[in-house]
Amino acid sequence: MTVPLAVHLFDAASILHGFGPWVLGGIALLVVVESGVLFPFLPGDSLLVTAAILSSSLGITPWQVAVVAVLAAIVGDAIGYLLGARVGRRLFRPHARLLTESRLDESERFFRRWGGLSLVLGRFVPVVRTFVPLAAGTARMRFAGFMTWNIVGAVAWVAVLVTAGVLLGGVPLIADHIDTVMLVVVVVSLLPLAVGALVRRRRTTGAGR
């Protein structure tokens, strides 16, 4: 599996083509890492949409993308849950660059608010989808219940993104301007984080007055 070092993490098309004949394995690897290995800054949403749009040129089918991504998402979240159950907060530090306590705190609040449904809703929010399984493990959520919601979330997430890619791929204008489309996908997927940060900032400012 040879991926050019210059490939940008958010250039999903270049990443997919860089995997060559191992593209399905590459998709699985990135989804597992983003879902459960505590590295949230990977193009999960745009990767699946792009893979569906470019499936014919990549030598794969949307169905293959969907099956591989669902299995990888389930495995990734299960890894995150086990890390939370066995290690939990010991992985996090207040001033760490990546594994900050604030990220875990936010995910735990999200989990407490939505319970098992957070494993479905969180799938559609970058960064949150990486840490919610960990929060579920830290909270000692029953594993059978966790896996049920994990599977539902994985299927829903992949179905929405792959279907969107298939539909968009049928529009010539979209296929010819995939870089712009993927930029829009990334921006839209990050909107919930931006809105949440703005709300917290306003609350903090209001409390400080």
pLDDT tens digit at each of 209 positions of the chain = 444 433 455 578 888 989 999 999 999 999 998 887 766 667 778 889 889 988 988 999 999 999 999 999 999 999 999 988 887 766 666 665 556 666 667 777 777 888 888 889 888 887 778 888 888 888 888 999 999 999 999 999 999 999 988 988 777 656 555 556 656 665 665 565 555 555 555 655 555 55
Between the CA atoms of 165, 171, 173 and 176, what dihedral angle is there, to the nearest 10 degrees?
A: 50
- 7: its two tokens: 């490939």
Report how far residue 35's alpha carbon sits from residue 33's, in angstroms, rounded to the nearest whole number: 6
**Domain spans, the chain:** 12-204
Confidence (pLDDT) at 140: 83
Confidence (pLDDT) at 160: 92
**Which residue is it, tokens 């992985």?**
91
Cβ atoms of 140 and 133 closer than 8 Å: no
What is the per-residue DSSP string for 144-192?
HHHHHHHHHHHHHHHHHHHHHHHHHHTSHHHHHTHHHHHHHHHHHHHHH
Report how far residue 182's alpha carbon sits from residue 35's, in angstroms, rounded to the nearest whole number: 20
